[in-house]
Amino acid sequence: MAVVTGASRGIGRAIATELSSTHQVIGTYCGRRDMAESLAAETGAFIHACDISRREDRAALAQFVSAKFGRVDLLVNNAGVAPRERRDILEATEESFDDVLATNLKGPYFLTQMMARDMIAEGVQGRIVFITSISSYTASVNRGEYCISKAGLSMAVALWAARLAETGIKVFEIRPGIVRTDMIAGVENAYERRIADGLLPQRRMGEGSDVARAVRAIAAGLLDYSTGQVINVDGGFHLRTL
């Protein structure tokens, strides 16, 4: 049984769709219920409203999972937000910083704590995946809060992998690059031009399905001796060449 947060759109939807062929999926959403309902209709996934930044919503999700299935085999921490407005870090606001970090870092960190406790109590040697970003190490000075949230999430992966290894729970980081989603819709054309000019060694934009297939490999147990591993799904962006 798999929980995928932020499953109604973008990368999360692609992951939920990919997993639905082998897992019973609970997909969370925040806001767009119509998109979540279409996911349920297309895949048979259960849907559950959850603002991952809120403790009460995380607890309600855990209770829903427990009541419906009793156990979780796979948690995919995918839900995330971009700043509502891109601003130079000299002009950025504390309110935006707090909002982004609450959803992108605090939420998945404590949801993992909750789900890991349940896995241990049920004796489940499950798998936990964090969807981070190339922004965890790439500085974008017009969205500093997003970069900081993803860098923190990368450390969360290392922490949880180290802590949970003795329990048999495996933890992984998938680090997408430039992926075609509504999050980048406003700058998609600019990215396409830069990719054509050589920004990526593999000269195409990523798709949600590229990330979903990496999750599939983890879900299938193909990387079970690689806890803590970072999987770059970025068209080679991380490579340094001379």
CA of residue 213 relative to chain centroid, distance: 14
Distance CA 136, CA 184 (A): 17
What is 106-119 written as a DSSP string? IHHHHHHHHHHHHH
DSSP letter (8 states) at residue 179: B
Beta carbons within 10 angstroms of residue 90's beta carbon: 7
Q: Using CA of residue 54, residue 78, residue 65, residue 126, what is the dihedral sign?
A: negative
Q: Which of 179, 180, 183, 163 is nearest to 171 (CA)?
A: 163
Q: Beta-carbon neighbour count of residue 96 at 10 Å? A: 20
Considering 133, 135, 136, 154, which one is annotated as catalytic? 133
For 226, the 3-state DSSP assignment is coil
Spatial distance between the Cα atoms of 121 and 152, rounded to a whole number of angstroms: 27
Residue 150 is a catalytic residue = yes
Element (H, E) at 227: none
**Residue 133 annotated to the active site:** yes
Task: Catalytic residue, from 146, 149, 154, 170: name it.
Answer: 146
| Phi and psi angles of residue 77, each rounded to the nearest 5 degrees, phi first | -80, 90
Residue from 96, 150, 154, 170 carrying the catalytic annotation = 150
For residues 46-62, b (16+ Cβ closer than 10 Å) or e, as one string? bbbebbbbeeebbeebb
Q: Which residues form the catalytic set?
A: 133, 146, 150
